[in-house]
Amino acid sequence: MIYVYVFEIGVKVVGHLILMLCCWILSLISMNWFISGGIMEKFTFLSGDRGKRWVKWLENISGKGLKIQHQYYQYIESKKVGWMKILVLWICFWVIASLWIFWLMNSQVYEKRKESLGSMCDERARMLQDQFNVSMNHIQALSILISTFHHGKNPSAIDQTTFARYTDRTTFERPLTSGVAYAVKVLHSEREEFEKQQGWTIKRMDKLEQTPVQEAEVLEPSPVQEEYAPVIFAQDTVSHVISLDMFSGEEDRDNVLRARASGKGVVTAPFRLFKTNRLGVILTFAVYKSELPINATPNELIQATDGYLGGIFDIESLVEKLLHQLASKQTILVNVYDTTDPLHPISMYGSNVTDDGMIHVSTLNFGDPFRKHEMRCRFKQKASWPWLSIMTSIVVLVIALLVGHIFYATVNRIAKVEEDCRKMEELKKRAEAADVAKSQFLATVSHEIRTPMNGVLGMLQMLMDTELDITQQDYVRTAQGSGETLVALINEVLDQARIESGKLELEAVRFDLRAILDDVLSLFSGKSQKKGIELAVYISDGVPESLIGDPGRFRQIITNLMGNSIKFTEKGHIFVTVNLAEEVMSSIGVETETSLKNTLSGFPVADRCRSWEGFKTVSPDSPMCPQPISSIVPELINLIVSVEDTGAGIPSEAQSRVFTPFMQVGPSISRIHGGTGIGLSISKCLVRLMKGEIGFVSEPNVGSTFTFTAVFTSGDSDSNESKNQRITKQPKSVSSEFQGLKALVVDSRLVRAKVTRYHFQRLGIHVEVASDLSQAISRMTSGTTVIKMVLVEKEAWEKDPELSDLFVDEFRKYENSDPLKLFLLANSVVSSKTTAAKPACYTPMVIMKPLRASMLAASLHSSMGVGNKKTSRNGGLPLQSLEYLLHGRQILVVDDNKVNLKVAAGALKKFEATKRIRDGEQNVNDRILRGEEPVEAYENISNWHVPILAMTADVIQATHEECLKYGMDGYVSKPFDHQQLYREVARFLKSA
């Protein structure tokens, strides 16, 4: 009954321990949840409606788990004293259980060892006894042989020679005997005649022990007695016993008398053999007359006795020979004893060392019922320590004590955990309140900073449109640059805050990737031309014209990467390539080491293949590299974008912290080049939101290559699926005026010629490439194709002035007969002016790099006299487009800030739009001044069927969504530029 009770207690303790461990793990998960601010920050892939449902489900489970945990902790706290008693019982039970386990396992080992010893000892005893029986049977048969052929025949058929030869040949049948001898029965009355007949005197046997064997001839004659038993036949090994009287020895006399009276073989007590001085015994059989009756009495047996046949056994050598036949001889020690006298056993084999260890006794039966023999066996080595039993019991006890310790620690920490849970709840509420306050603070700071910055930048832009001298223009540009830098810094800080709070989300709108990269090139064209570095973009033909994603965030990534390249590159080039990931995967292993002639500018670059080595979706060595995404989901497009430069590179010791927020290569970087060090960190987070990866390779004094992947949806599919999304329409790059034209590009660098061909093909122009001017002359004079324009790279134009003059002369021949235009491609204004001035007789038109579709179209329009020549500065969006859209439009501008009203008025005036400015007269603006949301005011203007744009300095995503939710048509953040305004206005005015 007590065992059942203890078992029930053990099961109950284990059950509570498991439940407490589960609660402890749940508390750790919950604590990590609260500290990290939720699971959304840890798993960015849980986005969208499905991800939000999963998160909500996990939060419900966590809340219920915490409630169960809290209730269980309260229950444990109330039963704390009872649990301590159970803990004491638990420890006592397992101490006893471990001792019992040790005793049980040790007993099993002992029994197994004892069984093994008994098996080996019985085997040896059985073999010894079997061989002794074989020898005994043969000796008995030999006694019958002597009775028949010696006593049964006259004259005898056996003599000493015959006996010795026969016994030697049959030794193998007596494996345990060392010799055989036959003694004849001689009465005292027959002694004299017997001695004469044999030729020797019957000797006394008991004196042989004191006399050496070689002096046996001088032994004393046997004393007078009624009967003698002299040895007449003996095996050669014991021939020294011939003539000895067996009756003269006390032990032999008793042995002979017992043998003839019993009719069976008898064994002597162990004694030292005469010749070898080793322990041995003699097995004696009486030889009877052949006419002896079967059921003879002892007296009849005595009267019928003719002699005595004895077999000599050397016990030590025989047992040793037997043990040598066994493989496990060395395992145990064997002793053979004569135990006829139990109190004084006689050792026949082995040492007399007493051992209190394990001993096994096997009984031996040598056929003599009077004498008792046994074999005693023991292991040669003592049993080793029962380490298995000891370790098992110790491990069980340690485990039990550990479980008890966990139980004890858990019970003691319940109160602390309960208090920690209460603190965590309070901290969670504080964190949520702090997060709300942080968001409100960011929104307020963003609004309050952007509002005056909108005025500053707007007024500076208006000032630039006035008549200023060169010094004043430089001052205004400097102020504009500083203001734009401040706005960019504010945007980066806000983005970093959104990333840390997990509230940064991506849009899903249709956009033109090529137009976006043209915009980015326009942004950096001034700096690249000033430094004289090559700036180029190449997009693979496999990339769709239209994609669905977040163009603003994609532009931000490209801008960050190219901005860093512009900062740290003083010579060479910056090259942006966009390809499908499948194209890159198929080209892996084909590309060789980049040579000088195989780069954009001729400067060496870092191996860009190393920049995506760790990408799971690109690297073929990665076990997680599946088949291309487009083959699984055809609508998805996986792009791989590389930004390659020949700048200063990143030192090896600083490469590990490139993506760490607010970390830069060195302390002097921010002083020399500016920046906050969070651009790359933000880019990495944005790439992760686009389900991509980012990496880089950099070599000091060679350059860097940053590569990232991004997954978009193809915008060439059915547009009905995104009818509820905002659609961003980019102007078409291809102009119908240039369709079918053919151009000849002269460039010695294949990569640069490939980029030039890409941009001209976007305009519908077929391009042929010549490596130098001589090859270009051959193409022009061949007459196989009609070339409308020739574009010569500055490097090829300056390489050979004489060849350039020859080319001009040849060019003029075709210019008179067929309109043919010559363009020079240059990186900087200074070099282009110098180059254009060299041939004094002819000045080609210069096209400044970087090449963009809109800039090329404008240059060709201007040179060839077709289309509208009015374009925006730096090759941006045509100002004619905005002027065309806004000309004559009635536009109402409502703002509570007079500076913003002036900026808006100046911008609209530039585009000849009719504007109405209201600062506080309209009811809508009154509600704004009272702090009401503009979307609420819009609900009361249901009769207006005009587009409404929300223009605000609040760039929080929630505000954007709120504006669209209440029916506004668009959203423009301050400070705004012409391109942003054009994109929003074009959505609903272009078709009107």
Burial class for 112, CB neighbours closer than 10 Å (0-12, 13-18, 19+): exposed
**Helix or strand or coil: residue 262?**
helix
* CB neighbour list of residue 853: distance below 8 Å, 6 or more residues apart: 514, 515, 518, 733, 734, 759, 762, 763
Residue in the structure block whose two tokens are 């023991």: 378
Given this model, what pLDDT does residue 383 score? 80
Query: Taking 50 as the threshold, does the pLDDT of residue 438 lie above it?
Result: yes
- Work out the angle at residue 155's Cα, subtended by the Cα atoms of residues 154 and 158, and round it to the nearest 5 degrees: 110
| Coil, strand or helix at 708 | strand
Give residues with Cβ within 8 angstroms of 342, minimum separation 6.
Answer: none
pLDDT of residue 583: 85
Which DSSP string do the residues of 676-696 spell out, in sequence order?
Answer: -S-HHHHHHHHHHHTT--EEE
Alpha-carbon span 855 to 850, nearest angstrom: 9
pLDDT of res. 873 = 39
Average pLDDT, the chain: 76
Q: What is the DSSP string of 718-774?
A: -GGGGTTS---PPPPS--GGGTT-EEEEE-S-HHHHHHHHHHHHHTT-EEEEESSHH
Neighbours of 92 (CB within 10 A): 11
In the three-class reduction of DSSP (H, G, I as helix; E, B as strand; rest coil), residue 232 is classed as strand
What is the chain's Cα-based Rg? Answer: 58
**What does the pLDDT read at residue 69?**
57
E strand or H helix that includes residue 186: strand 186-187
Residue 613: pLDDT band (50, 70, 90) is confident
H-helix or E-strand spanning residue 271? strand 271-272
For residue 583, give Cα distances in angstroms to 540, 541, 543, 691: 9, 11, 10, 19
Q: List pLDDT tens digits, range 495-515.
A: 777 777 677 788 888 999 998
Distance CA 968, CA 988 (A): 12
Q: What is the dihedral of CA 524, 528, 534, 538, to 10 degrees?
A: 0
Per-residue model confidence as pLDDT tens digits over 426-437? 998 888 888 778
Q: Report d(CA 707, CA 558) in Å as an integer.
A: 10
581 or 24: which leads in pLDDT = 581
pLDDT at 233: 92
pLDDT class of 39 with cuts at 50, 70, 90: very low
Two tokens at 830?
A: 């200074």
What's the DSSP call for residue 230?
Answer: B
Phi/psi of residue 711, each to 5°?
Answer: -105, 125
pLDDT of residue 987: 65
End-to-end Cα, the chain, rounded Å: 96
- Nearest Cα neighbor of 715 from 852, 475, 544 is 544
Reported as a pLDDT band with limits 50, 70 and 90, residue 71 is: low
Q: What is the pTM of this model?
A: 0.53
Token pair for 390: 């000891």
pLDDT in tens, 718-747: 544 433 443 333 334 445 577 878 888 988
CA distance 777 to 568: 40
Q: Above 70 in pLDDT, residue 774?
A: yes
Distance CA(199)–CA(111), nearest Å, equals: 65
Task: Tell me the pLDDT tens digit for each residue of 562-577.
Answer: 998 998 898 999 999 9
Helix (H, G, I), strand (E, B) or coil at 360: strand
Give the pLDDT confidence score for residue 17 in this predicted structure: 54
Give the confidence band of 66 by pLDDT, cuts at 50, 70, 90.
low
**Residue 484 corresponds to which amino acid?**
E
Q: What is the pLDDT of residue 671?
A: 47
Q: Could you report the per-residue pLDDT of 165-213, keeping only the tens digit for each?
A: 999 998 888 877 888 999 999 998 898 899 899 889 989 876 555 444 4
Tokens matching residue 464: 């630039």
Tell me what pLDDT residue 599 has.
87
Q: What is the pLDDT of residue 574?
A: 94
Average pLDDT over every residue of 508-526:
89
Give mean pLDDT, residues 702-719. 83
Q: 15-20: which pairs have CB atoms within 8 A and are 24 or more residues apart?
A: 16/76, 16/83, 16/407, 17/403, 17/406, 17/407, 17/410, 19/72, 20/72, 20/76, 20/407, 20/410
Q: Is the CB of residue 439 less than 8 Å from the CB of residue 88?
A: no
- Give residue 230's pLDDT band: very low, low, confident or very high (50, 70, 90): very high
Highest mean pLDDT, choosing among 233-247, 460-474, 800-814, 974-988: 233-247
Is pLDDT of 103 > 80? Answer: yes
Summarize the chain as % helix, strand, coil (round to 5).
55, 15, 30
Which residues, including other chains, have CB under 8 Å from residue 828's CB and lie 6 or more apart? 529, 530, 531, 532
Residue given tokens 């949301």 in the structure block: 933
Residue 916 has pLDDT above 80, yes or no: no
Query: Which tokens sit at 969?
Result: 């048509």
* pLDDT of 670 higher than 60: no
How confident is the model at residue 322, as a pLDDT? Answer: 77
Contact yes or no for 311/177 (Cβ under 8 A): yes
Contacts 24+ apart (CB under 8 A), 588-596: 588/618, 588/620
Contacts of residue 53, Cβ cutoff 8 Å, sequence gap at least 6:
none
pLDDT at 256: 87
Residue 151 has pLDDT above 60, yes or no: yes
Is the pLDDT confidence value at 899 over 70? Answer: yes
Mean pLDDT for the stretch of residues 807-820: 68
Bridge partners of residue 314, in order along the sequence: 280
Whether residue 707 is predicted with pLDDT greater than 90 in this model: the reply is: yes
Query: What are the Cα distances from residue 104, in Å, to 321, 393, 401, 580?
Result: 40, 10, 21, 71
Residue 232's pLDDT band (cuts 50, 70, 90): very high
Q: To 10 degrees, what angle do helices 387-464 and 48-78 make?
A: 140
The percentage of the chain sitting over the pLDDT mark of 90, rounded to a whole number, equals: 14
Strand ranges, E, within 112-168? none
| Mean pLDDT for the stretch of residues 67-74 | 57
Query: What string of H, E and C letters represents the secondary structure of 89-124?
Result: HHHHHHHHHHHHHHHHHHHHHHHHHHHHHHHHHHHH
Quote the CA–CA distance of 30 and 873 in Å, as a whole number. Answer: 57
How many of the other CB atoms lie within 10 Å of CB of 201?
Answer: 17
Q: From CA 253, how far away is CA 259, in angstroms rounded? A: 10
Q: CA distances (Å), 7 to each of 14, 98, 324, in order?
A: 11, 15, 55
Q: What is the mean pLDDT of residues 626-641?
A: 70
Residue 915 bridge partners (DSSP): 891
Closest CA to 640 of 711, 559, 727: 711
Measured CA distances, 990 to 371, 886, 906, 968, 982 (Å): 133, 9, 22, 18, 10
Report whether pLDDT(143) > 70.
yes
Beta strand 186-187 with 231-234: parallel, antiparallel or unpaired?
unpaired
Q: What b/e sequence results for 40-69 when a residue is b if at least 16 CB atoms lie within 10 Å of its CB, and e otherwise?
A: beeeeeeeeeeeeeebeeeeeebeebbeeb
What whole-number distance in Å separates Cα of residue 494 and Cα of residue 96? 67
Q: Is the peptide bond before 975 cis (omega within 30 degrees of 0)?
A: yes
CB 17 within 8 A of CB 97: no
Report d(CA 604, CA 567) in Å as an integer. 19
Read off the pLDDT of each residue in 3-22 and give the average, rounded to a whole number.
Answer: 53
Domains of the chain with bracketed CATH: 120-208+219-315 (3.30.450.350), 506-587+597-619+634-663+676-714 (3.30.565.10), 907-989 (no CATH)
State the DSSP string of 815-882.
Answer: HHHS--EEEEEESSHHHHHHHHHSSTT--PEEEESSP-HHHHHHHHHHHHT-S-----GGG-S-HHHH
pLDDT of residue 165: 92
Residue 984's H or E segment, with its range, is helix 978-989
Q: Name beta bridge partners: 244.
A: 203
pLDDT for residue 42: 44
What is the pLDDT averaged over residues 549-558? 91
Q: Does residue 617 sit in helix, strand or coil?
A: coil
Q: Is 324 exposed, middle or buried (0-12, 13-18, 19+ CB in 10 A)?
A: exposed
Q: Which amino acid is at 46?
A: L
